[in-house]
Structure formats: structure tokens, C-alpha cells
Amino acid sequence: MAKESKNKSFVLRIDAEIMDAIEKWAADEFRSTNGQILYLLDQALRKNKRYPSKNKTVNDEEK
């Protein structure tokens, strides 16, 4: 049986200069480019208190 992934895939159009900078940054931190983008998104969500809580119930989201 194949294991079901929790990840979603999508196409991202990004400026070439920004992508080059992300690729260099990822290499400097020994991450893949994909890992670096996920890290940046994670940090931005946490900083802005928008990170989805795993402990939320359906009723909590309605409040």
C-alpha cells in the first residue's frame, strides 16, 4: 500500500533573482531549495501568529 502524503504540490512562479538568492541561502544552510522555502514560510507564519495550531478543534475555529 502506498503511504498517503500530507504535503500539497503546486507551481510557484518566482522572480529569477529571488530564486537565485533563495538557492544560495539554502546551500549556505545545507538545505534543499524546497526546504528553504518551507522554512521561510514557517518562520513568516509563526512571526505573524498565523501558524495553524494542531490542537485546534472544529469548535475553536468557529469562535
- The tens digit of pLDDT for each residue in 10-51 reads 999 999 999 999 999 999 999 999 999 999 999 999 999 998
- Do the domain assignments include residue 26? yes
Please tell me the pTM assigned to this model. Answer: 0.72
Give the residue numbers spanning the domain of 46.
16-50
- Do the domain assignments include residue 25? yes
The radius of gyration of the chain from alpha carbons, rounded to an integer in Å, stands at 16
Count of structural domains within the chain: 1
Reported as a pLDDT band with limits 50, 70 and 90, residue 63 is very low
Helix H or strand E segment including 61: helix 58-62
- Do the domain assignments include residue 45? yes
Reported as a pLDDT band with limits 50, 70 and 90, residue 3 is confident
